[in-house]
Amino acid sequence: MTLTPIEFYFDLSSPYAYLTSTWIDEVAAKHNRWVKWKPIMLGVAFKETGMKPLFHQPLRGQYGERDYLRSARLLGVEAVVPKRFPYIALAVSRGFYWLEENYKDHAVDFAKAAFKRYFCDGKAPTTDTDMASLAHEVRVPAKELIEGCSSLEMKERLTFETEKAIQEGVFGSPFVIIDREPFWGNDRKEQIERWLKIGGW
C-alpha cells in the first residue's frame, strides 16, 4: 500500500500555523510520510463559520497572544506577536504556488521564510521589496517571482485552492488531513503523532 501524503492547510498570517510549520515535516518523515503544503486564504473560510482572527476576539484576544507565545516556548521555537496583525498574505501565498510550478524545490522554503519574516522578525511581507528579499533568501529570481505573483493564473490558482480546501472541510488554520482524518490546530500534534503511529484509533 502506498501511503498518501499528509495535507497541511494554512494561512501564512496564522500564528498557530507558523508553529505547526516548524514540526510537521519532521513528524511526517518519522513515519515515512511527506507533507503537501497548501497555503489558503483563511478569510474566505471565516466567512463560512462566522469566526474572527484569534487576537481580535473580545476577551480571547489577550489570552491568544499569551497562549501563542507559551505554545512557541513549549516547542522551543522563536516567536513574536507582530504589531500589525493580521495581514493579508496574498502575495506570499500566490508566490508559493508560482514557485511550486516553476521552482518546485524552493516552494516550502519560501513559505518557511515568509512565516519567519512575520512571526520571528515581526514584518508582514507584502511589498515587491519584501518579495525580492524573500526570493533572494531562497535563491530564486526575484523579478520572475514578483511577476508570477501578480499573474492572473496565480490569482485564480489561490482562489481555487482555497475553495477546494473549504469543500474538503477545512475551516481553520493550521488544518492537517491524514488519510481523510481532519486535525485542527497546532495543539493536535499529539493526536497527529498517534494517528501516524497506529494508523487510526
User: Counting contacts by CB under 8 A, is residue 160 touching a second copy?
Assistant: no
Q: Residue 20: name the closest of 86, 82, 75, 93 by CA.
A: 75
State which of residues 20, 21, 22, 71 lies at the interface with a second copy (CB under 8 A): 71
State which of residues 30, 70, 84, 136 lies at the interface with a second copy (CB under 8 A): 70
State which of residues 34, 56, 63, 143 lies at the interface with a second copy (CB under 8 A): 63
State which of residues 4, 29, 49, 101 lies at the interface with a second copy (CB under 8 A): 49
Residue 82's φ and ψ, nearest 5 degrees, are -60, 140
User: Counting contacts by CB under 8 A, is residue 46 touching a second copy?
Assistant: no
User: Counting contacts by CB under 8 A, is residue 121 touching a second copy?
Assistant: no
Q: How far is the CB of 153 from a second copy (least distance, A)?
A: 29
Nearer to a second copy, 48 or 156 (CB): 48
- Asked if 16 and 71 touch (Cβ cutoff 8 Å), the reply is yes
Supply 19's cell numbers: 508553529
Helical segments of the chain, H only: 15-21, 24-30, 42-49, 60-75, 90-102, 107-119, 128-137, 142-149, 152-167, 189-198
User: Counting contacts by CB under 8 A, is residue 57 touching a second copy?
Assistant: yes
Beta strands 35-39 and 6-10, pairing class:
parallel
Collapse the DSSP code of 183 into the 3-class scheme (helix H, G, I; strand E, B; otherwise coil) and give the result. Answer: strand
Q: Which residues of the shown chain bind a second copy in the complex (CB under 8 A)?
A: 48-50, 57-60, 62-63, 66-67, 70-71, 73-74, 169, 171-172, 182-185, 187-188, 190-191, 194, 201
